[in-house]
Structure 1
Amino acid sequence: MSQTDDDYEYDLFVDGAFRPGASGDRIDVSFPYDGTVWATVPRGTATDVDRAVAAARDAFEGPWSEFGGSERRRVLDQIADAIDAHTEELAELETRQNGKLVREMRGQMESLSDWYRYYGGLAEDLGGRTIPVENKSETGGMLAYTRKEPLGVVGAITPWNSPLMLTTWKLAPALAAGNTFVHKPSEETPVSALRFAELVAQHTDLPDGVYNVVPGHGTEAGAALVDHEGVDKLAFTGSTTVGRDIASAAGERLIPVTLELGGKSPNIVFESADLENAVNGVVKGIFAATGQTCVAGSRVFVHESIHDEFVDAFTERAADVTLGNPLDPETQMGPVAFRDQWETVRSYVERGAEEGATVAFGGDRPDDLPGECFIEPTVLVDVDNDMTVAREEIFGPVASVIPFADEDEVVDLANDTDYGLAAGVWTEDMRQANRLVERIDAGMVWVNEYRAVSHKVPFGGYKDSGIGRENGAEALDEYVQTKSVWYDQSGDVSDPFSLG
């Protein structure tokens, strides 16, 4: 890695060191706020992925295999300490890549160490169980127990919206379980991953080859990683379309896969809700992070008795959102991460209007801001749940407000989607909240809150929103395999043709 003033030039990180890419081609990284290019990284190829997987395999079978649970915990604690010492730097790198608010990125970086310490504790306690079985004879019996063993080399592909957080959700449990890791970050946001790898190399005892980073395009480096015969497990966060392709490839090779995919999450406001609190929660669910989050509460269902009052308050809040430089702590919403995504978001707004929705606020690019990636927070009304804007993931600051008459109707509407990642329920009737929690088809339901996450709480969805879980003790299960062990203590195999 080299740095001149504010310009960064990174190489691949393979086998504990920065190394040039095989092709010599490079990818520019720009600041979404004004479009300036501030970093370049190699355009990784299948050759680079092959080198990284080989290094990960050597580390898995070599030095990393000698690290027991307590030693892995020590390394994970060291990673946590390195993050804590560089939160400001990492937060700024994240913002300069994807344009999300530096105050949000700082919050993410300040919490990341919790994941490594949490999974370090689980690494120290990772083990199987002893299982009572029938005695085989009068002279002795059977002993059976299980072992939890690592899978091997993990191939991980992460998106651009929260790069280091979503990497951590995979890397921390993978390392805790004893696996090695090859990481393909998004070509839009590779810099923080490479800097993080550098910090890990400088400040921890993680053996060379355990964590490798190969930036590049999904169709090249990503595809090579997915198809590589040396990868024992795949972990992916991104679109459902790509997730299906990865699941198919994993199925062909019969390797496990964790997929955290898209969402079209309902945010439901009942007539008993505290209106101000609900409006703030809906704003948090769709305009925070510029709507660029898989759990975005993009379908806002509002009881018909308070619909108009809610829309008035919601549009007023949307109009008050401060757009600007995401590095400015006073900014409340930054730009969309890159121009192609801006065009996607804008096309959905136009499609909504064509299908009969009304733009109650927003939908345009402000004239007083630099670059080409800003779009106003957008509120659509007169939306039907069958419209495109209510069916497809937009991944931008666009909320579709849909009225409902009663509890049964809104449950049907909420569940009438291919997705099932998250949901929000706003009500002061806790019996009602409990009924909704049970009836909504989603992997996560927040009551009078939205977008809360924790290293201790599982994260994942139903239906087209993915397979498996990240975070919590459940995530560790995604990175281990179970071995059953039998001991005959009787010394009597008298009938070789019987079972047991």
Structure 2
Amino acid sequence: MSALETRARQALARLGASTPDDGDLAARTPITGEVLGRVKTSTPDDVDAAISRAHASFRAWRSVPAPVRAAVVRRLGQLLTEHKSDLADLVTLEAGKISSEALGEVQEMIDICEFAVGISRQLYGKTMASERPGHRLSETWHPLGVVGVISAFNFPVAVWSWNTALALVCGDTVVWKPSEATPLTAVACDALLRRACVDVGADPAVHQLVQGSAAVGEQLVDDARVALLSATGSVRMGRAVAPRVAARFGKALLELGGNNGAIVTPSADLDLAVRGIVFAAAGTAGQRCTSLRRVIVHASIADDLVGRIADAYRQLPIGDPFDDSTLVGPLINRAAFEAMQTSLQQARADGATVVLGGDRVDVAGPDSYYVSPAIVRMASQTSVVREETFAPILYVLTYTTLDEAIELHNAVPQGLSSSIFTTDQREAERFLAADGSDCGIANVNIGTSGAEIGGAFGGEKETGGGRESGSDSWQAYMRRATNTINYSDQLPLAQGVNFG
């Protein structure tokens, strides 16, 4: 047994889960490409039974007072705190994140648990003025039903927690289909949540885990008992999911592609800009939905900025993500590497200059895929730039006026995260205005990645329009009812209608 497999087994054991060995779904680590365990794929009957259990549990769970429901989430947060390093190990093993980023992802889970516990006492409705005397008009929020969660490999645990923590305090139950690339982290999270339920006397059936290919997710998409389908993944996946959920009049919460841009103006603090750009573009090996893909820099400072970024890139340690000195770990698999190479070839065909990077780096043999982050100067925003490549490619374009920069920034199909680096307040405010960035996230003097849980997370256009995590995102997991209460002995009609 290899050291990595042993590490996975030990982490799972401490988390209260055993390593699956008898399944047909291989849990591979991108660190070396080796298999860590084998998980059973859920059959159609398994998925149907999981939805049935979640639906039956919902009928009782919805009537439990929200602050009482929050006890499960509070306990989950405590368990995550106790086992932070164990779960982070699994994130690194399965997703390839460097240790500090893996620990940060688990901390994000802890944070959303704290947030959700607070929200459990703030599921507020409104009281509105009625036009009729002796009447009160208000709204109430009620549990929605079964929430289906389909998550991606790059945030294998955080996105699940965003959905699950809020869904549970809102009175919903959850059926989770994780990425095929990260089945062990899912087994661990399910074990922790079941333990949390047992510890506080809640029904463990409020959460169900199903594993497998896209066909497993499709059952969640098509089953009318799944009231809300929350799916994180590619635009292509979203195009398939959205109409199928809509066809059965279900609700969909979609977090899809990002092709995130940063504008760098002549007034920018370039030292700060470089730090923000390098982390956003090269962190997580460019495999965040909020990773920086495009830098739109004023022509007068373009050469200086590119030179500074290139100098920083040359100093990025690439290697074993468990090594504390490493800043860039592996791509998830061979397909990700091949997609990166295809995009670089297309960029060259479009006349681009690859300033630096893009090469494969031999760290752990032929079954792992490490790359040097690439910087690519483009004369124009061609089709390859307008598409998201889930790899560390940073395209650099130039502009001469801020209007031109904003137009260039917005001229992509995606609309997730964005930023501007400037010390000019007018430029900053223009970027944040209605005719500025068209993204769901717009930042000033920080990069495009690293969102906090307090704000709603999501984007516009082909990013899907969904919002998860903070702010009022809890409303997606509930249904709204408008209530009119007549406390008089009269029955006036609205709009002055006289009937009899």
Q: Tell me the TM-score normalised to structure 1 length.
A: 0.92
Cα distance in 1 between the residues matched to 2:392 and 2:493: 70
Q: 1:147 to 1:17 in 2, by over 3 A?
A: farther
Secondary structure of 2:226 counterpart: coil
Aligned pairs, how many?
Answer: 485
The alpha-carbon deviation at position 126 of structure 1 amounts to 1.5
CA distances 1:421-467 after superposition (whole Å, capped 9, x unpaired): 11110111122111112111111111111223122111111111112
Secondary structure of 1:163 counterpart: coil
Cα distance in 2 between the residues matched to 1:115 and 1:426: 29
* Counterpart contact for 2:132–2:493, Cα < 8 Å: no
CA distances 1:310-337 after superposition (whole Å, capped 9, x unpaired): 1111111111110000111110000101
Q: How does 1:38-57 map to 2 (within 5 A)?
A: 38-57=36-55
* Counterpart contact for 2:261–2:292, Cα < 8 Å: yes
The alpha-carbon deviation at position 208 of structure 1 amounts to 2.0
- The match for 1:148 is 141
Q: Indicate which of 244, 249, 262 corresponds to 2:239.
A: 244
Q: 1:33 to 1:10 in 2, by over 3 A?
A: closer
- The match for 1:213 is 209
Cα distance in 2 between the residues matched to 1:110 and 1:266: 26
Q: 1:111 to 1:7 in 2, by over 3 A?
A: closer
- The match for 2:414 is 419
2:484 partner amino acid: W
Secondary structure of 2:50 counterpart: helix
* Counterpart contact for 1:10–1:194, Cα < 8 Å: no
Secondary structure of 2:121 counterpart: helix
* Counterpart contact for 1:250–1:256, Cα < 8 Å: yes
CA distances 1:55-80 after superposition (whole Å, capped 9, x unpaired): 10111012x23420210222211111
Cα distance in 2 between the residues matched to 1:9 and 1:107: 21
Q: Indicate which of 304, 308, 328 corresponds to 1:309.
A: 304
Secondary structure of 1:287 counterpart: helix
Cα distance in 2 between the residues matched to 1:176 and 1:495: 37
Cα distance in 1 between the residues matched to 2:125 and 2:8: 49
* Counterpart contact for 1:257–1:467, Cα < 8 Å: no
- The match for 2:283 is 288
- The match for 2:324 is 329
Q: 1:38 to 1:495 in 2, by over 3 A?
A: closer
Secondary structure of 2:230 counterpart: strand
1:384 partner amino acid: S
Q: 1:367 to 1:132 in 2, by over 3 A?
A: closer
- The match for 2:195 is 202
Q: How does 1:383-394 map to 2 (within 5 A)?
A: 383-388=379-384, 390-394=385-389
Q: 1:89 to 1:494 in 2, by over 3 A?
A: closer
Q: Which runs of 5+ in 2 are unaligned?
A: none
Cα distance in 1 between the residues matched to 2:5 and 2:289: 35
Matched, 1:177 2:177: no
Q: How does 1:214-293 map to 2 (within 5 A)?
A: 214-218=210-214, 220-293=215-288
Q: 1:494 to 1:70 in 2, by over 3 A?
A: closer
The alpha-carbon deviation at position 303 of structure 1 amounts to 0.8
Cα distance in 1 between the residues matched to 2:491 and 2:196: 55
Secondary structure of 2:468 counterpart: coil
Cα distance in 2 between the residues matched to 1:207 and 1:120: 18
- The match for 1:469 is 467
* Counterpart contact for 2:265–2:297, Cα < 8 Å: yes
Q: Indicate which of 100, 106, 109 corresponds to 1:109.
A: 106
Q: 1:9 to 1:213 in 2, by over 3 A?
A: farther
1:57 partner amino acid: H
1:373 partner amino acid: Y
* Counterpart contact for 1:355–1:387, Cα < 8 Å: no
Cα distance in 1 between the residues matched to 2:155 and 2:88: 10
- The match for 2:347 is 352
The alpha-carbon deviation at position 144 of structure 1 amounts to 2.9
Q: 1:487 to 1:494 in 2, by over 3 A?
A: closer
Q: Indicate which of 479, 483, 486 corresponds to 2:484.
A: 486
Structure 1 window deviating more from structure 2 (336-345 vs 204-213): it is: 204-213
Q: Tell me the TM-score normalised to structure 2 length.
A: 0.92
Cα distance in 1 between the residues matched to 2:58 and 2:141: 16
Question: What RMSD over aligned residues (CA atoms) do the two structures have, in Å?
Answer: 2.6
Q: Indicate which of 155, 180, 204 corresponds to 1:162.
A: 155
CA distances 1:218-252 after superposition (whole Å, capped 9, x unpaired): 1x101111111211111011111111211101110
Matched, 1:404 2:399: yes
Q: 1:328 to 1:499 in 2, by over 3 A?
A: farther
Q: Indicate which of 60, 79, 90 corresponds to 1:93.
A: 90
